[in-house]
Amino acid sequence: MHLTRKIGVLLLGWSALCAASPASLHAQAINHDELEQVFGEPVTTSVTGKPQRASEVPGNLTIITQDDIRRSGATSIADVLQFVPGVDIRHNWLGDTQVAIRGYARPMTPRLLVLINGRQVYLDDYGNVAWNALPVQMNEIRQIEVVKGPNTALFGYNAAAGVVNIVTFDPLFDTVNKATIGGGTQGFGEANVVTTAHFGGTAGVRISAGGWTANEFHTAPANSGYRYPRAASLNLDGRWQVSSDVLLRAEASMVDALTPRVTPLAFSTNNRIQSDSLRLGAAAATGLGLIDADIYRNAGIYEYILPFANSNSPRNIVTVARLGDILKLNAAHTIRVSLDYRHNSLHSQDIVGGTVSYDNTAASAMWDWQVTPSLSVNNAARFDHLALHYSGNLLAINGRTLQGYNATRIDATSFNSGLVYKVTSHDTLRLTLGKGLELPSLLDFGIQVPVGGFTILGSTSLVPTEVWNADLGLDHEVDAIRGILRASVFAQRNLKLLGSPGATTPSLSGDTIYSQAANTGSSDEVGFELGLHGCSDAGLRWNASYRFAAISDNIPSANFALFGSSARYRNGTPQHTIILGSGATLGRFEVDGQVRWQSAFTDYHLGATGALPFVVTNNVTLNGRVGYTLTENITLAAVLQRYTVSQLLQQNFGSRPQVRGIASATAHF
C-alpha cells in the first residue's frame, strides 16, 4: 500500500491531507507509526498541514519523541524543554517555570504559543502558560514539536517567538494503557493513568487522569503567603472515522492547579487555576479540497492572591472557531486557506472593574510549491482584525472612556516564507523569513488596580509587538556516527515592545499617580546554534549543542519604572548555553543523563523601592535517570534532578532547594 497516497491527515486545527490529486483526498486520521517507518524519522503535519519529515519542514523545527520524554525522567513538559537548544528556562520554584525561545524570557512570558493538538492552552489574562496546569499526562504524549522563530502566519495567534505543539497519541491507531506512581524529595508525589478503547475499528477514545503535589520547603517561609503547589487533570480525546471522506473528533479536559507564581511586576502571588475545555471538529474530503471545521471553548477561573489587593477570581472565556481548506492543485502545488474567529473575555471586579473583551477575526493563506524534487518553497500570510470592548466601572484616568474602549480597533499583518534545498543526499539547507505578532493581553488592555496612591492601568492605545526574524540553517547527516549536525544562524528585530502595566514611567492625572501599559521601544538579537547528536550500534546515544545569543535594547531609560524589570532584555538572556547528554540501553537497564550550563543573566525581585536587579551567576542544571524493566509490563525508574532554581527563592524566602530525587513505577496493561 502506498502510504503517501492512501493516508490522510486530520484537519481539526490546521491539519490536512497530502495526496496525489484532489480527487484522491480522504479525510482520514494520520498513522504516525506507519509514516515514520516509511520515512525513517519523525513526521509532522503541524507546519504546512501535510505529512512531512522533520528534515523537510520550512522552519527551524525540533521534535522530541516519546522515547526522549521517557528517558529524560521529566515529570513536566517544561523539564523536557530545558534540554532543547535555543529554549531558555527559568525555574522560579516547583510548578512555576518560564519557557522562552531564543531569549526575551520574563515572568509569565507572553511570546510563546503553546498548543495541545492544535488547541491553545496558554492563559489569556496575561497571555502566558501555566506549565503545571496543562491537561495532558507525560505517558500520552507522542511528540513535542518546538518551532523557533515567529510563525504567526503558519500557526496563528501570538506565535511571536515560536511554537510548542504537544501531539498526543491518536486514539484510532494507538493503544496506550499505562499507569505511573511516584514519589520523592520535597514532598513530591504523583499518580496518573492513561487508557484507550477502540470500537469496531472506526472509533477510539483515550482517557487520562493524574495529579501531583509537592512541598518545596519543609516549613513554609514565615509571613510569605507561600502555598504548596499541586495539580490534577482529566482529559478525553475521541475520534470517529465515519467514512473514508468524513472524520469527526471531540475533546474535553478539566484542570485544578495551585502554584506560587512570579508576575511581570516582580512580586509573587499564589495562583489557583480551575479550567475546562470542550472541542469539536470535523474534516471532509470534497471536490474543493479537504475542508475542516474546528471549534473550542476554554473557560477558566484564575484566583490571584495578591499582596496589595483582596483575593479575587477573574474568569476568562475564550471561544475559537476555524474553517479551513487545503487543496492540492497538482503534484507541485498545495494551497491552504483559513478563516479564524476568536472571542476572548476577562471578567473581574477587582482587577479590571468589570469585563474587558475583544473579537479577533483573521484570514490566512499558504502556498507550498515543490519547485524540483530537491527544492521547495513555502509562503504564508495572515491578516488580523481586533475589536476591543469594555463594560463596567472604568476609572476615568488620563481621559479613558467607555466610548474610547469600544471604538478601539487593531489591524495587523504577518507572514512566513521558507525555502528548503536538498543540496546533497546528506545536506539540507533551510532559509526562513518571518514577521510575527505578540498581541496585547487582556490585562494589558484592561487592568485597573489602585495600590495606595499609585494605580496600575491598561491602555487602549497599544499595538502588537512586531517580531522580524531571518534564519539560515544547515542539516548534515554524518553516517559514521549515525547522527546529524545541525547549525543555524539567526537575526531578529523586535519593534513596538509591550511594556506591562506598572512597568512604564509613572504619570500624574489630577491627584492620581499611575503607570499605564505602553509600547516601549525596540530590541535586536543575533545568534547561532550548533548541535550534534548520534548513536551507535551498541545502543549508545549522545548529544551536544552550543547556543550564542546577543541582545541589544533600544528602550528609552524613562520607560524603566518602579516595576520595569519586564522591559530589560539585554542582560536578561544568557549569552552562552551548552547542553551535553548521553545514554545507553544495557539489557534491562536504561541509563540517561543531560546537563545544561548557561552563563550569567540578570533577574529581578520586588524590594522596598521597586523591582531590584540581582545576578544569577553561571549555573548548571542536571537531569539523570536509571530505568529498569522488571517484567514485560512493569518498569521502575529513579531520577535525580538538580535545578538551577532562580535566586528569586533566595531573595524572597532565604531558601533555595536545588536537588530532587524521584522514584517511580510504570505498569503497562
pLDDT in tens, 109-123: 788 999 999 999 978
What pLDDT is recorded for position 2?
34
Q: How confident is the model at residue 655 (pLDDT cuts 50, 70, 90)?
A: low
What pLDDT is recorded for position 19?
32
Q: How confident is the model at residue 657 (pLDDT cuts 50, 70, 90)?
A: low
What pLDDT is recorded for position 569?
83
- Tell me the pLDDT tens digit for each residue of 622-649: 999 999 999 999 999 999 988 665 555 5
What pLDDT is recorded for position 405?
93
Alpha-carbon span 101 to 112, nearest angstrom: 7
DSSP structure class, residue 108? T
- Tell me the pLDDT tens digit for each residue of 379-424: 999 999 999 999 999 988 878 899 999 999 999 999 999 999 999 9
What pLDDT is recorded for position 5?
31
What pLDDT is recorded for position 505?
74
What pLDDT is recorded for position 486?
96
What pLDDT is recorded for position 652?
54
Alpha-carbon span 35 to 41, nearest angstrom: 9
What pLDDT is recorded for position 601?
87
What pLDDT is recorded for position 14?
30
Residue 438 makes CB contacts below 8 A (sequence gap 6+) with 110, 111, 127, 158, 160, 161, 464, 465, 467, 498
| Neighbour count for residue 144 (Cβ, 10 Å) | 20
What percent of the chain lies above the pLDDT cut of 70? 86
Alpha-carbon span 95 to 75, nearest angstrom: 11
What pLDDT is recorded for position 504?
73
Q: What is the mean pLDDT of the chain?
A: 86
Mean pLDDT, rounded, for 144-162: 92
Q: Who has greater pLDDT, 258 or 55?
A: 258
Q: How confident is the model at residue 21 (pLDDT cuts 50, 70, 90)?
A: very low
State yes or no: pLDDT of 162 exceeds 90.
yes
State yes or no: pLDDT of 453 exceeds 90.
no
Mean pLDDT, rounded, for 205-221: 83
Q: Who has greater pLDDT, 195 or 456?
A: 195
What pLDDT is recorded for position 228?
80
What pLDDT is recorded for position 307?
54
Q: How confident is the model at residue 266 (pLDDT cuts 50, 70, 90)?
A: low
What pLDDT is recorded for position 229?
87
Mean pLDDT, rounded, for 528-537: 93
- β 512-516/507-509 pair status: antiparallel
pLDDT-wise least confident of 55-69, 179-193, 302-316, 477-491: 302-316
Q: How confident is the model at residue 374 (pLDDT cuts 50, 70, 90)?
A: very high
Give the position of cell 511554537: 163
What pLDDT is recorded for position 191?
97
pLDDT-wise least confident of 15-24, 427-436, 515-524, 563-572: 15-24
Where in 423-519 does DSSP place strands (E)? 427-438, 448-451, 454-457, 465-478, 483-495, 498-499, 507-509, 512-516, 518-519
Residue 225 makes CB contacts below 8 A (sequence gap 6+) with 268, 270, 305, 307
State yes or no: pLDDT of 6 exceeds 50.
no
Alpha-carbon span 138 to 120, nearest angstrom: 18
- Alpha helices by DSSP H, listed for 134-230, are 152-155
State yes or no: pLDDT of 67 exceeds 50.
yes
pLDDT-wise least confident of 180-184, 301-305, 529-533, 594-598: 301-305
- Asked if residues 259 and 130 have their Cβ atoms less than 8 Å apart, the reply is yes
State yes or no: pLDDT of 11 exceeds 50.
no
Q: How confident is the model at residue 22 (pLDDT cuts 50, 70, 90)?
A: very low
pTM for this one? 0.90
Q: Who has greater pLDDT, 445 or 520?
A: 445
Mean pLDDT, rounded, for 465-493: 95
Domains of the chain and CATH, by start: 3-227+240-668 (2.40.170.20)
Q: How confident is the model at residue 94 (pLDDT cuts 50, 70, 90)?
A: confident
